């Protein structure tokens, strides 16, 4: 049995869970993105209180490495890495889009295409396309949505859009195969992916693992 602490603060909704293999023992959610940092560590402590486990019992720590909010990704990655260093436990990194897609796949369970979308401001999203077996059909990318988006695939496939950016598709794509799944990340989905990595001993280097941003972070120097 593997006890895994799962951490996701990459999007508007933060999720942490404690799972035995892929069975979720307890989880906590925070819907206020600006409070993810203050939410995280007290919520982790509460998970161990609720389950009667101790943090020293965990076998690995999993974290979503992006894409998503720059600040949110850094909060999750820093916390996960810090715990891995302190406890000498392996780190598992998971792509946020895969977790969102699997959440829809587990809920809907149809032979269709699944398109997770993370809001990246205006009409831009971080997105990818997967089939029902979570095989990547369109690689992860930063995409500005317009009327040509996914026109080649949606003609012959039922398409489930999900995640914080999914609602934007309604403004550019009017097709009977375009369906919106409003549910966000499910605890069971991240637990399944993290245990799959643990079972296959797919770990990330704690020192060199880096976030998946999909586009460069930059700031404007007003004095320039």
Element (H, E) at 198: helix 187-199
Which tens digit of pLDDT belongs to each residue from 79-88? Answer: 999 999 999 9
The answer to whether residue 73 scores a pLDDT higher than 60 is yes
Domain ranges of the chain: 3-95+186-199, 97-181
Q: Do domains 3-95+186-199 and 97-181 have the same CATH topology?
A: yes
Residue 132 CA to residue 17 CA, distance in Å, equals: 24
Digit-coded pLDDT (tens) for 170-191? 888 889 999 999 877 899 999 9
Mean pLDDT of 28-49: 93
User: 216 falls in which pLDDT band (50, 70, 90)?
Assistant: low
pLDDT digits (tens, 9 = 90+) for 96-106: 999 999 999 99
Omega of the bond prior to 67 within 30 degrees of 0, cis?
Answer: yes
Mapped onto helix, strand or coil, the DSSP state of residue 213 is coil
Please give the CATH number for the structural domain made up of 97-181. Answer: 3.30.420.200
* Residues whose CB is less than 8 angstroms from the CB of residue 173 and which lie 6 or more positions away in sequence, other chains included: 145, 147, 149, 150, 151, 154
Could you tell me if 24 and 18 are in contact, meaning their C-beta atoms sit under 8 angstroms apart?
A: yes
Interacting residues of 45 by C-beta distance below 8 A, sequence separation 6+: none
The pLDDT of residue 184 is 76
Fold for 3-95+186-199, please state it.
Answer: Nucleotidyltransferase; domain 5 (3.30.420)
Nearest Cα to Cα of residue 153 among 124, 130, 120, 182: 130
What is the pTM assigned to this prediction?
0.92
Cβ count within 10 A of residue 114: 26
């Amino acid at each position: 049995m593997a006890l895994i602490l799962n951490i996701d603060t990459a999007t508007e909704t933060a999720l942490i869970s404690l799972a035995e293999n892929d069975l979720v023992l307890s989880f906590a959610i925070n819907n206020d993105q600006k409070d993810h940092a203050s939410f995280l560590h007290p919520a982790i402590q509460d998970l161990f209180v609720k389950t009667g486990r101790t943090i020293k019992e965990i076998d690995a720590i999993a974290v979503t490495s992006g894409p998503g909010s720059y600040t949110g990704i850094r909060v999750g990655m820093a916390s996960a890495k810090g715990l891995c260093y302190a406890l000498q436990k392996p780190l598992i990194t998971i792509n946020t889009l895969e977790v969102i897609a699997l959440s829809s796949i587990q809920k809907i369970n149809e032979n269709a295409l699944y398109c997770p979308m993370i809001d990246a401001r205006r009409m831009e999203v971080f997105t990818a396309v997967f089939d029902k077996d979570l095989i990547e059909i369109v690689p992860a990318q930063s995409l500005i949505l317009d009327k040509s988006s996914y026109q080649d695939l949606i003609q012959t496939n039922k398409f489930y859009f999900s995640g914080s950016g999914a609602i934007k598709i309604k403004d550019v794509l009017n097709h009977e195969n375009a369906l919106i799944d409003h549910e966000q990340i499910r605890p069971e989905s991240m637990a399944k992916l993290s245990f799959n990595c643990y079972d296959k001993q797919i770990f990330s280097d704690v020192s060199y693992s880096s976030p998946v941003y999909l586009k460069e972070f930059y700031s404007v120097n007003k004095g320039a």
